[in-house]
Each structure stands twice: as structure tokens, then as C-alpha cells.
Amino acid sequence: MKAEEELGNLLKSKKLSLSTAESCTGGGVAAAITSVAGSSEYFMGGIVAYSNDVKISLLHVSSETLEKYGAVSRETVMEMAAGAMNTLKTDCAIATSGIAGPGGGSLEKPVGTIWIAVAYKNEIVTVMQTGDNGRAKNVQNAIQNAMDLLIEILK
């Protein structure tokens, strides 16, 4: 069973709603989730927040967090996930922010660094994906890892 199908079954069985807040995955998590027939039962919507202004205005990420830690950080994706749950009124959320490549990396945050957060109830769990496998694969891995992380949390 594909991750998006397993996640959908878990959300339906637990009667939970889901939202997404995506930067580097550009709506890919939402697209995977909505590829499953019947996903409207649990998926409420997603916000693709590529710019910091959108992260601040729609997801309520604090400008202080962005200034201190940057958009690609554990702190930012945690606030993005919480913001998605709040803005879209859902039980859980998935958030992603990273450097998909091929450019944009630094010594501290090389290309392929992607932070993923999943929020459920009062808990937010994060993972950092690393390794540059090319832009498309970096994004695809992040989409898969994000869904797998929420499945793990819900089980």
C-alpha cells in the first residue's frame, strides 16, 4: 500500500483532519494526499508558503524565528505546522522547508537539507533530511518522508 493510501486510511479510521504547509515541496505533499479517492473526507487544504512573507502572514511564523534560525530550520517548520493546524482548523498537519537545489545551499545548510514537521494534538515531531540526490529526488524523498513520519505518529 502506498503511503498516501495508508495515511488516508489512518486519518479516516481516527476521524482526523489534515492540512499541509509546504515550502520546498511546492504542494507535492498535498498532491500526493489528494491523489487518493475520498481524501476530501480528511484533507482540508494546504498552504504553499515559498516566501517568508507568506510564512508570516498565513502560517503565523514569527519574524524573529525566521531572522534567528532561517526559513530552513526545525523552529520554522514547527511554527509552520502549528500555523497550518490553526489557520485551516485541522487535527494534524505536515510542514516542509528546505533547500531542494541545485543552488541555494551553504556550508551550514547544504543542498538537500530539508526540515519536516508533523503536528498532532499538542505534539510536533521533526526530522531533518540530508543528502543531495538532485532537486526532483530531494523533493520526492521529502514528500515520502513527511507522510511516513505522520503515519508513524498516528500508529
Q: What is the pLDDT of residue 1?
A: 83
Q: What total number of domains does the chain contain?
A: 1
Instruction: Look at residue 70 and tell me whether its pLDDT is greater than 90.
Output: yes
Which set of grid coordinates corresponds to residue 9?
486510511
Cβ(7)–Cβ(29) below 8 Å: no
C-alpha distance from residue 64 to each of 26, 50, 58, 126 (Å):
24, 17, 16, 20
pLDDT tens figures, 14-50: 999 999 999 999 999 999 999 999 999 999 999 999 9
Q: What is the CATH number of the domain that holds 106?
A: 3.90.950.20
Backbone torsion region of residue 78, taken as left when φ is above 0, otherwise alpha when ψ lies between -120 and 50, otherwise beta: alpha
- Cα(26)–Cα(84) distance, rounded to whole angstroms? 15
Provide the pLDDT for residue 90.
98
pLDDT at residue 66 is higher than 90: yes
The grid coordinates of residue 133 equal: 540526490
Half-sphere exposure of 78 (CA within 13 A, CB side): 14
* Over residues 106-119, mean pLDDT: 96
Range of the domain at 121: 3-154
> CA-CA distance, 66 to 52, in Å (whole number)?
8
Q: What is the DSSP letter of 122?
A: T
Residue 114: predicted pLDDT: 98
Residues of the chain above pLDDT 90, percent? 97
Confidence of residue 81 (pLDDT cuts 50, 70, 90): very high
